[in-house]
């Protein structure tokens, strides 16, 4: 269940300020973040999307203080996650980036539900319940509200580029404690995504 906090308004105000700083000239992957994202593109041998804006207080520096998960599977699919646990119950800010090079089908996730002594196992689409379309400068994404694994309780945007599937998602929790606020963040994120191609 959602926690409650009192610092939401302040956090939101800061997020808007950071957003304003990235407006203006044609977006490019921020210099401090570029190396990590370029290395990811090189490693998976596929284009990846580098963000130019992140919800406060996160940055998107791979290997930086907010990196939570950096995982590349054998099939080259990746999950890069940034997380901040706020102080004294002020909430979490959690953003996941995924890519599935060479495939566009929504993957299937395993589900395990414990009900008393029973364990109920099943499978389900990792992203489901499309409920909105979000358009960025070069991307037309679908918003999903029921997602699994690291994207559980997140709003997630998914889109296809060439023959690959990409997603970005954010947790619905204080300080971004409504799906409306999170979708607004994701719109901003999508608008600022910059495609980096593998080099060499």
Partner 1 sequence: MRLTRRRFLGGAAAAALGGAGVYELVDQLASAPKRHVAEPAGMPAEQHVFELGTVHSEGVEVVVPPLHSEVITATVKPGNIRDAQQELEDALRELDARYELSPKGLGVTVAWGVPYFDSYVSAQAKQHLPHDRRANKPALLPSRTFPSDPKETIIEHNDVAVLLRSDQREHIDRARALLFDDLHVFEMTSVRRGFAGGGFSGGKSLPQRMAVAAGVPGADLIPDGSELFLGFTSTQKAGLGPRLIANHETLGFVDLRSGYFHGGTHMHLSHISEDLEAWYLNFDFDERVLTAFRPGMTSVKQGAQTVPQGPDNVSSVELLQKQFKQTGRFGHSASIQPTSRLQRDMVGPDGTLYPKGTAIPQRADFNTLDNPFAWTADPKRDNFSQEASAGVHFVVFNPSSDDFERNRLAMDGVLPGGTKLSVPPRTRAQGFNSVLTTTHRQNFLVPPRRHRSFPLAEL
Nearest approach, Cβ of residue 195 and partner 1 (Å) = 28
Pick from 199, 200, 196: nearest CA to 80: 196
Nearest approach, Cβ of residue 5 and partner 1 (Å) = 8
Query: Do 169 and 154 form a contact (C-beta atoms < 8 A)?
Result: yes
Kindly list the residues in this chain that would bind partner 1 in the complex (CB under 8 A).
1-2, 4-6, 8, 113, 115-116, 118, 120, 124-125, 128-129, 131-132, 145-147, 152-155, 172, 177-180, 183
Pick from 78, 80, 77, 47: nearest CA to 61: 80
Which residue shows structure tokens 């679908």?
142
Nearer to partner 1, 52 or 169 (CB): 169
Nearer to partner 1, 30 or 91 (CB): 91
Measured distance CA(76)–CA(86) in Å, rounded: 32
Nearer to partner 1, 27 or 83 (CB): 83
Residues 6+ apart with CB under 8 A from 47: 41, 161, 162, 164, 195, 196, 197, 198
Nearest approach, Cβ of residue 107 and partner 1 (Å) = 14
* CA distance to 116, 137, 139, 151, per residue, from 120 (Å): 10, 43, 38, 20
Nearest approach, Cβ of residue 109 and partner 1 (Å) = 10
Nearest approach, Cβ of residue 91 and partner 1 (Å) = 12
Nearer to partner 1, 146 or 164 (CB): 146
Nearer to partner 1, 39 or 132 (CB): 132
């Amino acid at each position: 269940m959602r926690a409650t906090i009192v610092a939401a308004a302040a956090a939101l105000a800061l997020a808007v300020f950071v957003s304003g700083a990235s407006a203006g000239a044609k977006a490019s992957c921020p210099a401090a973040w570029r190396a990590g994202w370029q290395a990811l593109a090189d490693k998976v041998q596929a284009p990846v999307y580098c963000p130019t804006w992140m919800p406060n207080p996160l940055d998107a520096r791979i290997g930086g203080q907010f990196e939570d998960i950096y995982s590349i599977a054998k099939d080259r699919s990746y999950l890069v996650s940034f997380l901040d646990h706020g102080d004294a119950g002020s909430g979490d800010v959690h953003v996941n980036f995924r890519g599935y090079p060479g495939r566009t089908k929504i993957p299937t996730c395993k589900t395990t539900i414990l009900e008393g002594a029973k364990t109920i196992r099943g499978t389900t689409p990792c992203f489901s319940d499309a409920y909105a379309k979000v358009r960025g400068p070069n991307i037309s994404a679908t918003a999903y509200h029921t997602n699994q694994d690291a994207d559980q309780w997140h709003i997630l945007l998914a889109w296809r580029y060439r023959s690959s599937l990409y997603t970005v998602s954010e947790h619905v929790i204080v300080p971004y404690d409504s799906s409306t606020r999170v979708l607004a963040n994701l719109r901003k994120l999508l608008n600022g995504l910059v495609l980096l191609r593998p080099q060499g």
